[in-house]
Structure 1
Amino acid sequence: MATTTSLFSETVWMLGAAAVAAPIFKRLGLGTVLGYLAGGIVIGPVLQRITNGEEVLHVAELGIVFLLFMIGLELKPARLWTMRRDIFGLGLAQVLVTGALLVPLAHLALSSWPAALIAGFGLALSSTAFAMQILDDSGDVNTRYGQRSFSMLLFQDIAIVPLLALVSILGGGAEDATAGDMATNAALALAVIAAMIAAGRYVLTPVFQIIAATGAREVMIVAALFLVIGAAMAMQMVGLSMAMGAFLAGVMLAESSYRHELEADIEPFRGVFLSIFFIAVGLSLELQVVYENLLLIAIAVPVLILVKALVIYGLCRLTGSPHADAVRIAALLPQGGEFGFVMFSTAAAAGIFSNATASLLIAIVTVSMVATPLCVRLAERLFVRREAYHEEIEEDFADAGADVLMIGFSRFGQIAAQILLASGREVTIIDFSAERIRQASAFGFHIYFGDGTRKDVLIAAGIEKAKIVAVCTQKREITDRVIDVVQENFPRAHIYARSYDRGHTLALRQRGVEYELRETLESGLVFGRETLIALGSSEEEAMAITDDIRKRDAKRLEIQAVEGIMAGADMLHTHPVSPEPLMRPKRRQPDPTVKVTGKDMA
């Protein structure tokens, strides 16, 4: 019972610290990441309300897993392929050059070259969680410098595998390992990756179709969590990074119709666990170690930041980045990373250096993390013009940035979408019917599964970038709910809506919808016009009558909007219509002058 109480009290303290510190630091312009760190330091090392910071950190690493999954969802395989030079060129160069410079510097403080080797390359890694959160807060994930930063971080996630193998070799843990064992492990890792790719291509979409058909939203959320955590654990079991497993799962689903729904479902968990991760970093900061080695840390942290920043800036400039982008990347990635915690703890367990040295290195990484938001703010003020920040890269980053966000893909929406697509316009289409998605895919339409009445789904589908929100849902109550959510959360959105009937049209006009159209109006007018032509009227006469009826209808709507739906009855028809009683039609007598042959009968 005491353990349960302690768990609840620690959770309350962490949530309270996040709720208080993050808004304050955001208000001060320092960013939420620094606020989470400060909150963790206060409730941990200062007030001693939580003392098991390392345990919390291990659980909170799920935030990094969810973060990499979300990033993967935004990167189609084709887009990832185009980034291969930055990942394996720029990323590899950054790790090798930075490590080569830091190893001799580490040897000045450490007596052993193996220890210096692990320390140098461990400090060469940057923090994916910190960098991507800062990019997300500033809306710069999709910029040129944001994508180059991510490429380097992605390679570092890959590099942790050989670096941990290096720890094992230097610590003597690889003496019993044969070449056959290493080959087996490599083959197993490749097999798991291949299995994940195959599952993403052939299994996941049918499974999500079945789940979506049940209509149970909580099952979809459970399935999404199972997918992310399961993929992460599968990669960890074969010696690879959990974050890499989640990222690969996201990439495999980047072109799935369920991408936006998955993104909306995972986003709350990502935000909560990532904030707890930053708090846990603050919790795990050992103030005693910092105090005892204050001079060394005061020298080591600026040197680390300066060396990494200069290397990153130089490599980015050499590979084609403009000055402003190179400065941004250098200011974003000079810190140590969370994988450094893993390397240093593993090295201490392997006897490469002492636990005290590991604690000192972890403290250096943590302090460098704390300094990162300040470096970013300093770079913004001194080197970078803020207005250049939001220049978008040339990519097809999912359909979330389309000019039109269409909600609902029934008969009405299908016709409207064809016109938009035929004109070359980009349209993001979401619908909540798994069966309709399956049918539409057979005709070449790519639409996403998502509930348009959910704010998070609309954000994931790119409503904030859409020029027009086309609400084409077929039920009046659903249309009204969608419009409620859009107008409440996105007041600047331009709403074009399909209305159910005349009363619904009037209601939508009162709510300030920019454009509405009754679903049967134009089809009825066209039908009547074609019938007139078939009866002998000329096309010009039929068109004139149709236009007259359309104008009368619009004028009547204006009157009804003021006086009520029963007003304007005198404008209903060009010629009054008097109903006549229905009579059984007389049987038609054959014309005796017309001969009917057997051929005609057939």
Structure 2
Amino acid sequence: MESFLFQATIYLGAAVIAVPIASRLGLGSVLGYLLAGIIIGPLFGWVGSETQDLQHFAEFGVVMMLFLIGLELEPKALWNMRDRLIGLGGLQVGVTTGVVMGAAMLLGLTWTVSLAVGLIFALSSTAIVLQTLSEKGLMQTNGGRSTFSVLLTQDIAVIPMLALLPLLAIGTGMHIAPDGSLQSGHSDDGHASMSLVEGLPGWGVTLVTLAAVGTIILAGVYMTRPLFKYIHAAKLREMYTAFALLIVVGIAALMLLVGLSPALGTFLAGVVLANSEFRHELEADIEPFKGLLLGLFFITVGAGINFGVLFGAPVTIIGLTLAMMLLKGGILFAIGQLFGLRGRDHWLFTLGLAQAGEFGFVLVSFSLQQNVIPPGLSQQILLIIALSMLITPLLFILYDFLSKKMETPKEQQAPDEIDEQGQIIIAGVGRFGQVVNRMVQLSGFQTTVLDHDLSTIQLMRKFGFKGFFGDPTRPELLHAAGLSTAKVLVVAMDDPKATLKIVQNARRERPDLHIVARAYDRVHVYELYRAGADDIVREMFDSSLRTARYVLENMGLSEFEASEAEKTFYKMDRQSLRDLAEVWKPGVPVAENEDYVSRARELNKELETAIVTQLNDEKEVKEA
């Protein structure tokens, strides 16, 4: 027990120290986890043989991630993605497998071993790439969606790969046993383990594999809903978590019995359950376990790197790793160009998928079990996979560098010719500005609406509201909209920098113009105040006040008392913003501005006193 606690302390401590440092340096959390594993493993030797056993446990992070990915992908969504999955993803898997297989045969490997190697290196790291794409906010870009499609295709392709590998064992160290069945030539370690495929011929292993996959699909369709209803009847929150974990662990156990990756089965189960009314409940229950175990998985990958093999032939191992990544990157670059990826999206697709992946560990282990790959070669392949995963975060840093150097080509849409000028100009007509525009127009006033989003302007026109496309930050567009004669300018842009620029331009041109500006937060209020805005509205402030008023009403205050408290808070907060704007210093964090902090404390006390006094006065009037 003491040993377990000591090891757990080392793993958790390494993660808590290394990951925040890596994130602050812009290296990403994945590289932080990998470096933490290297430090506590090969570098200082604080962890040892238990790392391999722990990695099997940590792989549940990948298992749970694939389950959650499956939950987000309805079968209909998969069907809609068929062009990218079959075209982009299928071409990547097929071409990479063939090219790597050819390169391996040139190095002297047999065709069966070469094919296995090609299948292993055709896969990329779903865990690292998706984690990094999410952290950097790149999932919704064209390159991010293309990358996700390829990763999804690879995850699905592992199923036929695992079904194919036993067939490659024929003629590679297999012999005929006395009972007539095919037996592998490798020796076991003396530890018996449960298996449904042990001793079966290659075609038998394939049939059992397909049967296991079919069982998961049928169970997901016909058994999950009744079981969830049964659990729901218990009305115990922890039972939902227990059942969610039972699904994942149970499917993992079935997959291990047939020699498959647990992640594949859970991914399929997730897709089957994507239409279930219990999908969101499953996501909420699994998410916390996924994050922690996925981080632990990356640590064990770093800790498990065999530097003995690396130092035994460093030039060979590093050369093969870089050659594999360059070869794979070249294929990805060509495929991306073929499918119309350009600029940043093209480089994200190329650099993001150039590594080998965690499923490679699974395929290597399975190939070793089926005697497809010799043990010596498997050690080298495992090291190449781990090194390529370690290099991947650095490739994303290279992508960030290249991304800043290149401009994303955009089709420039010429701004509309403004043929009407109103006394009220509204710059920005999204979810904030459209409410302002509708209320003002319904009150009988004419507005001139400007927005830089063409789709928003086109949508407005469908509903009978006129607007003009163009960038309001351009002074000439404001002049065309009637800045010189307008009475009010409403700046409702959702971009704080654009809002500030428009206010500065307008105030410079028209010192007498009344400017109403939308602010993102308090600091933005101060900036707009300095720029010359007359009325500044924090975008969430009024809705927050109304929410607080409802809370007070439900805590026993009358509607009038709650309303008066709301008005008092509004007046005091408005005045405090003006006072704080006077002591605010641009570019200096408010926590480091002593005058600001001191004045804020004084104003908070004044605000609390004013509200309490207001409530007491109303109470005395009511009692009198």
User: Aligned equivalents of 2:404 and 2:13: distance in 1?
Assistant: 35
> Structure 2 CA distance, aligned partners of 1:512 and 1:39?
53
What is the aligned partner in structure 2 of residue 9 from structure 1? 6
| 8 Å CA contact 1:316, 1:326 repeated in 2 | yes
What percentage of residue pairs aligned between the two structures are identical?
A: 35
Superposed, 1:427-506 pairs within 5 Å as 495=544, 497=547, 498-499=550-551, 500=554, 503=557
**Which residue pairs with 2:310 in the alignment?**
290
Query: How many Å separate the matches in 2 of 1:70 and 1:492?
Result: 35
For 1:105 and 1:49, locate their aligned partners in 2 and report how far apart those are by CA, in whole Å: 39
Counterpart contact for 1:348–1:355, Cα < 8 Å:
yes
Deviations 1:312-354 (A, max 9, x none): 2222332343442221121111111112122223333444443
Q: Normalising to structure 1: TM-score of the pair?
A: 0.63
Question: In the alignment, residue 369 of structure 1 is paired with which amino acid?
Answer: M
Q: Separation in 1 of the partners of 2:222 and 2:109?
A: 49
Tell me whether 1:567 sits opposite 2:591 in the alignment.
Answer: no
Instruction: Give CA-to-partner distance per residue, 1:73-131, whole Å, 9 cap, x none.
Output: 33333322211222233222111101111112223444433222222221111111111
The 3-state SS of whatever aligns with 1:48 is: coil
TM-score with structure 2 setting the length: 0.61
Query: Is 1:150 the equivalent of 2:133?
Result: no
CA contact (8 A) 2:337 2:346 kept: yes
Query: CA 1:185 to 1:269, structure 2 compared with 1: closer, same or farther past 3 Å?
Result: closer
Aligned to 2:269: 249
In the TM superposition, residue 570 of structure 1 has moved relative to its aligned partner by: 7.4
Instruction: Show structure 1 runs of 5+ residues with no match.
Output: 390-402, 405-489, 516-558, 573-602
Structural mapping, 1:41-440, within 5 Å: 41-52=38-49, 53-172=51-170, 175=182, 177=201, 182-183=206-207, 185-200=209-224, 202-203=225-226, 205-207=228-230, 209-211=232-234, 214=235, 216-238=236-258, 240-383=260-403
Are the equivalent residues in 1 in contact too, given 2:166–2:202 (CA < 8 A)? no
1:542-581 correspondence runs (5 A):
563-564=614-615, 567=618
2:20 corresponds to: 23
> CA 1:162–1:501 in structure 2 vs 1: closer, same or farther (change >3 Å)?
closer
Seen in structure 2, the aligned counterparts of structure 1 residues 233 and 80 have a Cα distance that, compared at 3 Å, is: farther
Distance in 2 (CA, whole Å) between partners of 1:195 and 1:186 is 14
Aligned mates of 1:101, 1:239 — CA distance in 2: 27
Q: Deviations over 1:48-82 (max 9, x none)?
A: 12112222211110000111122223333332221
- In the alignment, the residues of structure 1 paired with residue 407 and residue 283 of structure 2 have an alpha-carbon distance, to the nearest angstrom, of 29
State which drifts further: 366-375 or 356-365.
356-365
User: What is the correspondence of 1:512-591 to structure 2 with a 5 Å cutoff?
Assistant: 563-564=614-615, 567=618
Q: Secondary structure of the residue that 2:384 maps to in structure 1?
A: helix
Of 94-103 and 250-259, the range deviating more from structure 2: 250-259
How far is the alpha carbon of 1:384 from its aligned partner?
5.9
Counterpart residue identity of residue 213, structure 2: A
3-state DSSP of counterpart to 1:203: helix
Relative to structure 2, which stretch is displaced further, 29-38 or 50-59? 50-59
The yes-or-no answer on 1:36 pairing with 2:33 is yes
Q: Quick one: distance in 2 between partners of 1:22 and 1:60? A: 17
SS at match of 2:129: helix
1:129/1:561 CA distance change after superposition, 3 Å: same
- 8 A contact 2:565–2:614 mirrored in 1: no
The Cα of 1:208 is off from its aligned counterpart by 5.4
> Deviation digits for residues 141-175 of structure 1, max 9, x if unmatched?
34433332222222222222332343322223695
Give the RMSD, CA atoms, in angstroms.
Answer: 3.7
Any runs of at least 4 consecutive aligned residues in structure 1 with deviations exceeding 4 A, and if so which?
173-176, 178-185, 235-240, 255-258, 384-389, 490-494, 504-515, 559-562, 568-572
> Is 2:122–2:356's contact at 8 Å kept on the other side of the alignment?
yes
* CA deviation vs aligned residue, 1:274-306 (integer Å, no higher than 9, x gap): 001000001110011111121112211221111
| Distance in 2 between residues matched to 1:256 and 1:250, nearest whole Å | 10
> Amino acid of the residue matched to residue 89 of structure 1?
G
CA distance, structure 1, for counterparts of residue 568 and residue 63 of structure 2: 41
SS of the aligned residue for 2:557 comes to: helix
Q: Secondary structure at the match of 1:364?
A: helix
Counterpart of 1:44 in structure 2: which amino acid? G
- Superposition deviation, residue 385 in structure 1: 7.0
